[in-house]
Amino acid sequence: MYLRRITIIFLLFAAASFVGWFLPRYLDPTPPDKEKQLRDKKWVSSSPYWLDRQACRWLSLCGVHHLSWDPAALLSWNNATDDDIFADRLELRSLHNEEGRHRGWENARRTSRSPQQQDADSAESLDRIPDYVLKYAPLVHLYSGENFWPSDIAEHLLHMVPYLEDEALNRTVDLGDLHVLNEEDGRVFLTASEDVESRPPWLHSHVGIPEPWDDESGDQGDNGDAASSATPSSGGRSKREGGRATTTTWFDASRDRPVHRISDPRRRHRENSFASRRNAWSVRRDDQHQHPMTSEPTHSTTYKPNEMGHSKAPAILILVDKGNGIVDAFWFFFYSYNLGQTVLNIRFGNHVADWEHCLIRFEHGEPRGIFFSEHEGGQAYTYEAVEKMDGRPVIYSAVGSHAMYALPGDHPYILPFNMLKDVTDRGPLWDPTKNTYSYWYDYVQDRDDGLDLDDDLDGEVDLLSAHRHANSTSLVPTAENPDAPTSWFHFAGPWGDQVYPLSDRRQWRLFSQYHYVTGPLGPKFKRLGRERLCITEGCRILETLKPGQTWYG
């Protein structure tokens, strides 16, 4: 009898151990490498309790004694009133100048480059934003019930302390000298100066809420579209453009090889008779568009006729010339906090700082494809597939995580039965063109200098290489903002706290899902030199919008 009970207990323990080992590996779309496994062992060992360590190793149940309710906001707990919130907003607004720019940007402008560099990078010698990049710039529907709104990276730095691993550095940094942290002997993490679970006002960044659009009250928009096309209650009506045929290999672009033209084999015999004439025309066309950055824009990011959709939190536009008339426009959106989603009322995936982006690929000024970042990967579409408003693509930002989707609604991921999901809706509409810092990035220069960031899917960097090239000039402001700082771009560390140890009262991990994870790296480490739109092997370019499509399977 006792032997049977012991056998049953052993089998149950063995089954639970197998599930704890197998399930996270089966569900994780990006399995850990050996380096991550070594860090994980160190992390588990940080718990002071033997039983906690064993449960973590064998059952993947880590820090269960730390489990607690993790609400999005604590205003009711703090007895905050509307007046308190208004006072916080006024305090944060005072950090901006009359034009809405953060003073941190102004300080960085004075310190980021030498007088000689500033002369060399004068507005006359810099390239402007091509007009088509602004014409087809995205519009972002933030979630109507969002608690953590777009943030200004200059203001974010005011609340961060640089840590060298677990030791605080006795210094402050701003956008003009952030790259000097790469010179430290080890990895530097920007770490919140306050406990993020106390929900300080800067974490919520209410000043980043976009200004409402006129058509949210039922009026016509400034472009003549029906007002309902941009409102949460509109039901999603939007303009759709006619299809553009795929005639070249724009979806796989690199300066190292030409973009090939795609043709129907049945027409090849007819094309041969016109080969010489077509080739001559193609050469002239390529010559005209090889350097599209010289195009004169029809409008500027520094002047807008109205404030609809304007946010005091600037977006970041990074333009990358891939050659052969291919230009990638990366729109980056920053938030000071990522609130993870809940499974059975247990929250996972929080982290300080959040960089999200979309990529629009142009071929000779025509938008061909678009990529939306989503957690560890993202989804790519042909440009014709996505929803548009006045010809501009519409993006939906998920509540808390800010993951980007092409449709409103629920977006389950990883776990079955909708246990873990992002949620999007037609909340406040953000027009990033009305407050943008814009740059041209030469990824080939960094690659030639030995810093090839495009080969690493996990965003890890060779810090020694990053140290050697901390003063890289691969990023250049556009003529619209010639004095914009560039040092922040080359910072090679996370923009938020390092993953809290298992001994931290705020930390737990269940089946490889952490309550708090390490903050993200900056835009430089988001594979800006990618040849394909996707950044993962399982992702493919979709031509239609269908609920339930995922990039990992």
Mean pLDDT is lowest, of 94-98, 255-259, 397-401, for 94-98
How many Å from the N-terminal Cα to the C-terminal Cα in the chain? Answer: 47
Whether the pLDDT of residue 547 is over 50: the answer is: yes
If one compares 470 and 521, the residue with the highest pLDDT of the two is: 521
Q: What is the pLDDT of residues 228-278, one digit of tens each?
A: 333 333 334 344 444 455 677 776 777 777 777 765 444 444 344 334 333
Give the model's pLDDT for residue 552: 59
Structure confidence at residue 252 (pLDDT):
74
Residue type at 83 in one-letter notation: D
Q: Mean pLDDT across the stretch 482-502? A: 95
Distance (Å, whole) CA 299 – CA 57: 58
Tell me the per-residue pLDDT of 4-28, one tens digit each, with 9 for 90 and over: 777 776 676 666 656 655 656 555 5
The rounded mean pLDDT for the chain is 77
- The model's pLDDT over 102-116, given as tens digits with 9 standing for 90+, comes to 667 777 665 555 454
Q: Is the pLDDT of residue 2 over 50?
A: yes
pLDDT, tens digit (0-9, with 9 covering 90-100), for 113-141? 545 455 544 445 579 999 999 999 999 99
293 confidence band (pLDDT: 50, 70, 90): very low
Band of pLDDT at residue 450, cut at 50, 70 and 90: low
Q: Phi, psi (5° rounding) for residue 307? A: -105, 10
Least confident of 249-253, 360-364, 388-392: 249-253
Q: Is the pLDDT of residue 206 over 70?
A: yes
In order, the DSSP letters of 2-21 are HHHHHHHHHHHHHHHHHHHH
User: How far, in Å, CA of 91 to CA of 328, rounded?
Assistant: 37
Residue 162 · residue 188 · CB < 8 Å? yes
Query: Residue 269: exposed, middle, or buried by beta-carbon count in 10 A (0-12, 13-18, 19+)?
Result: exposed
Q: Rounded CA gap, 325 and 210, in Å?
A: 34
Query: What secondary structure, in 3-state letters, does 420-461 show?
Result: CEEEECCCCEECHHHCEEEEEECHHHHHHCCCCCCCCCCCCC
- d(CA 400, CA 381) in angstroms, rounded, equals 24
The predicted structure's pLDDT at residue 152: 97
271, 263 Cβ separation under 8 angstroms: yes
Give the strand order in the sheet containing 188-192. Answer: 167-168, 160-164, 188-192
Contacts of 500 (CB under 8 A, 6+ apart): 506, 507, 515, 516
Interval 138-195: pLDDT, tens:
999 999 999 999 999 999 999 999 999 889 998 888 999 999 999 898 899 999 999 9
Residue 223 banded pLDDT, cuts 50, 70, 90: very low
Q: How far apart are CA 264 and CA 277, in angstroms?
A: 19
466 vs 303, residue with greater confidence: 466
Comparing C-alpha atoms, which of 527, 549, 378, 368 is closest to residue 456? 527
Name the pairing type of β-strands 392-397 and 388-389: antiparallel
| Residues 161, 172: Cα–Cα separation, whole Å | 7
Q: What is the DSSP letter of 466?
A: H
Work out the average pLDDT over 334-342. 95
Q: What is the pLDDT of residue 421?
A: 87
**Highest mean predicted confidence (pLDDT) among 154-158, 340-344, 462-466:** 154-158
The pLDDT of residue 376: 76
pLDDT-derived band at 449, boundaries 50, 70, 90: low
